[in-house]
Amino acid sequence: MTAMIVSDFSVDTALGRLAARQWEPADTGRTLAPIVMLHDSLGSIALWRDFPERLAAAAGRRVIAYDRLGFGGSDPHPGQLSMDYVQDESRTFLPQVLAQAQADAFLALGHSIGGCMGIASAAQHARCQGLITIAAQAYVDERIVAGIVDARNMFRDPAQFARLEKYHGAQARWVLDSWADTWTSPDFSSWNMGAELPQVRCPALVLHGDRDEYGSLAQPQRIADSIQGPVTFRVLEDCGHIPHREKPQVLLAAITAWLQDLPPA
């Protein structure tokens, strides 16, 4: 079993402190660019479970994850999400995480809206050597909105809401409302990644479950068709919206195989 060095660190920003963690194989050093993991709309470091450690061991790379402001162990968010919060995450917060982690070049791996933030990161930062999207969205459609409405109704059950509180504590209500209110707002209905996708020129791996509750295969197809760099598009069979929980070994194999084919930096 690969010896792993796991360490927590924090990132001080103008709006509050971010909680972060890194997993580093003890015998590989830092010759390869780290993978930065960007969580979904209800996610956190803890909700990645053991996937970051398994990925670090299989890839032989440092893996970094952090809680966005308002999520998990990070400080509360001071207000509401802006309509360009996806682009702002990669523009404002990600560079500060990279600086604190002493990481220059990096690979972006994002799940769901984190995948969109990964797209924005690859578009905005030339030092992004690769992009991995998992269950990401390219635009708002009725299926996404319907899924969010269903999820919000589910969390009216106190037992279900307690699951959010387990990972987000007193911030759980803000986490849920910021997601649901933003994505169901008429002002957000025209949101899309159309400006960023053609600016992605690094290698990309686009992954999507064939049973994803929040997005048909038209979503990843748009992503794969619009990226200008070399793209590998793979549909994960019999898989929903959370592959790292539903099909972790399949997901891990797909990512590590793609990493092995990356050209030298």
Per-residue pLDDT of the chain (265 residues), as tens digits, is: 679 999 999 999 999 999 999 999 998 778 899 999 999 999 999 999 999 999 999 999 999 999 999 999 999 999 999 999 999 999 999 999 999 999 999 999 999 999 999 999 999 999 999 999 999 999 999 999 999 999 999 999 999 999 999 999 999 999 999 999 999 999 999 999 999 999 999 999 999 999 999 999 999 999 999 999 999 999 999 999 999 999 999 999 999 999 999 987 6
| Residue 92, pLDDT score | 97
- Give the pLDDT confidence score for residue 15 in this predicted structure: 96
Q: What is the pLDDT of residue 117?
A: 98
30/9 Cα distance (integer angstroms): 17
Give the pLDDT score at 1. Answer: 63
Q: How many CB atoms lie within 10 A of CB 204?
A: 25
Distance (Å, whole) CA 95 – CA 127: 11
Measure the CA–CA gap between 90 and 117, rounded to whole angstroms. Answer: 6
pLDDT the model gives residue 2: 76
- Of 137, 132, 105, the C-alpha closest to 258 is 132
Position 109 scores a pLDDT of 99
**Number of residues that make up the chain:** 265
Amino acid identity of residue 127, one-letter, is R
